[in-house]
Structure 1
Amino acid sequence: MSGDAHVRICERLGVKLPRATRLTFSSYQPLTLLFEGPPPPAGNFSPDLLKDGLRGAFRSNGFAINPQKVHYADKHSRRTVTGLKINEIVNVDRIFVRNIRAALFVVEKQGAAVAQKTLKDKYGREAALASHLCGRISWVGHIKGPSDPIFRSLASRYNKLFPSEKLEILPTIVEIRERAVWVVEHWGGDATEGSMQGTAFFLKSVGLVTAWHCVDGATEIAVYHPSKPSNKFKVTVAKNDAHRDLAVLAHEIPATEYYEFDISKRTFKAGDNTTALGFPGFGPGDKINVRSGLITSLPIKSAVPMIEVAQKLSQGMSGGPLLDEDGAVAGINYKGGPSEARDFAVHVKALTDWLSVA
């Protein structure tokens, strides 16, 4: 927005522009039109090098140029704004991170009292050490993201040192999928000889989800995480829709035992990347099966929106999640395998639409 526009808006509101307003001019070409001569070297420069007309425009709009705040940057320049590095993405300066690591190291090796004294004597800070470090590490997480490995490393060290003031560390996509997808096993119905297996997963605001055909006719249902196959939890069917082949299971599994996926907010199209998760032919020692592929079609079958995928959805993966590129649930694995010509998942919209009226 131009300075003139800033002034007009402020005049209508009856307020004055702040004294520290920052204006930025940018272009894909050198900004030669801003200067009386050639552009100056990158860095701070004298406002006297600007064209008279531009300086006059500042003055007429109520601005006074601070000589210490006038900078020029070419395409090779390092961009730093309020402690942030601006490259392809916004990032935290490595010196900022290095100082946090150094402070944590002092606490780990010499104790909090020594670090607190250093903070006051060397840097003149009166703040409590825990609050000081918490704020700085939180800033790293705010800029880089709560699942960023650097933030997670700093926060983990901080939490060990200050357990009463812990920072929240969000799990990574890999950690979520490792603990959100479980094996579902049932007896009864068509399973006259032993148990039948499928996949179930935890979904935020919904619960434990699977495919209806994985539990249809069951007299007894259990779920367990593959890392603890002997620790089985009995569950029951809370809601089901045979037409959509969906079921939500009632359970009493402690929340500390699992993570939950988010529901995807994307609008899908053919060619989008997807990841199917599940436990095909699960046996002792097996781990989650991760199959990457693409959406090949978005058909509607008997009024149910579906997602056709390129990867094979083998028997045992039914009821598992189909994830989008963000690791959120795009669909529920439905049908596929070597004997099937096409592989489908029920679109997650079918689940949310059903639950909204169930």
Structure 2
Amino acid sequence: MLFEGPPPPAGNFPLDLLKDRLRGAFRSNGFAINPQKIHYADKHSRRTVTGLKINEFVNVDRKYVRNTRAALFVTETRGAAVAQKILKDKYGREATLASHLRGRISWVGHIKGPSDPIFRGLASRYNKLFPSEKLEILPTNLEIRERAVWVVEHWADDAAEGSAQGTAFFLKSVGLVTAWHCVEGATEIAVYHPSKTSNKFKVTVAKNDAHRDLAVLAHEIPVTEYYEFDISKRTFKVGDNTTAIGFPSFGPGDKINVRSGSITSLPTKSAVPMIEVTQKLSQGMSGGPLLDDDGAVAGVNHKGGPGEARDFAVHVNALTDWLSKS
């Protein structure tokens, strides 16, 4: 036990309640206990160390977040000059307001993680106030998914065939990826995001492999227009969850189509590793990403739909292997 008698109530307590042996251990190691800072917390009370809560996991104290929000509110409603004066006159801080808020919010992100909603909310408010000193806000998996998957549309020489649609997506260290059959025989190819159907970008085929049914498209789309997926690092097995994304029968007003399922087999067909899934990969979803549980790319949607007995994606390893040799 830490105490000479029964434990005191949670909170500050007199130093002499600690056992002599424990106090001696502090003294023998060159430490002096500050009576103003000695605190006892049982399993039902809040436990803090150096301002961090450590009950179930390390977290920022809610009071710290509330005070940061209050400082942002004053800046938003009364102006930076007033907030700067309060910071100096009331709290004796000489730092600039932007640096002070940036430090507080960065600390929240360091402890809670850059994708945490609280950090993202604070950082977004800060960035509006100080656009020249923005904090980096990492996108969530959902935001990446919404901006990384685009419609690909192409036209062939044969006017009777008209135009055809499929899906393409942005992949880190690779570029804009789709299925080869989505652009095969095309004389003109365009991609666009469903939120801006009139804002079409012309693209061309930079690399293709008909055997693997893969293509990488060359483009000049500004990096501010899209996010990129990561390549999955998982070793897949039957039963793993997957998410197929694409634009089946896309038309004005339609949004991204998301289909959940799982892996039913991992066959190799004509020396190409494939992933068979339970969800139906309808026409138009070809070329879109098949994602793992981490939101990283497991494969490229290949074929399937109501008229097919089985639904397949080309394993992402087929893509990386092809590119490493090309």
Stretches of structure 1 that go unaligned for 5 or more consecutive residues are 1-31
Matched, 1:258 2:226: yes
Report 1:1-358 matches (<5 A): 32=1, 41-43=9-11, 46=15, 49-50=18-19, 52=21, 62=29, 64=31, 66=33, 68=35, 72-188=40-156, 192-358=160-326
Letter in 2 for 1:227: S
Deviation at 1:225, TM superposition (A): 1.5
Report the 3-state secondary structure (helix = DSSP H, G, I; strand = E; otherwise coil) of the residue aligned with 1:123.
coil
Q: Name the amino acid aligned to 2:311.
A: D
Please, what TM-score do these two structures have when normalized by structure 2?
A: 0.89
- Give the number of aligned pairs: 324
Cα RMSD of the aligned pairs, angstroms, is 2.5
Q: Which amino acid in structure 2 is aligned with residue 66 of structure 1?
A: I
Question: C-alpha distance in 1, partners of 2:24/2:90?
Answer: 45
Whether the 8 Å CA contact 1:47–1:70 is kept in 2: the answer is: no
Unaligned ranges ≥5, structure 2? none
Structure-1 separation of matches of 2:115 and 2:150: 23
Displacement of 1:210 after TM fit? 0.3
Letter in 2 for 1:328: A
Q: Is the 8 Å Cα contact of residues 26 and 33 (structure 2) preserved in structure 1?
A: no
* Cα distance in structure 1, aligned partners of 2:262 and 2:61: 37
Tell me the percent identity: 85
SS at match of 1:230: coil
Per-residue CA deviation, residues 89-134 of structure 1 (Å, 9 max, x unaligned), is 4322111111111111111222212111111111111111110001
Report the Cα distance in structure 2 between the residues aligned to 1:222 and 1:192, rounded to whole angstroms: 19
CA distance in 2, matches of 1:250, 1:191: 25
Compared CA separation, residues 57 and 85, structure 1 to 2 (3 A)? closer
Structure 1 88/58 Cα, relative in aligned 2: closer, same or farther at 3 Å?
A: closer
State how far apart, in whole Å, the 2-side matches of 1:295 and 1:239 are: 28
The one-letter code matched in structure 2 to 1:211 is A
For residue 325 of structure 1, give the secondary structure of its aligned residue in structure 2: coil
Contact 1:47 1:65 (8 Å CA) reproduced: no
* Structure 2 CA distance for partners of 1:276 and 1:104, relative to 1, 3 Å: same
Higher relative contact order (CA 8 A, sep 6+): 2
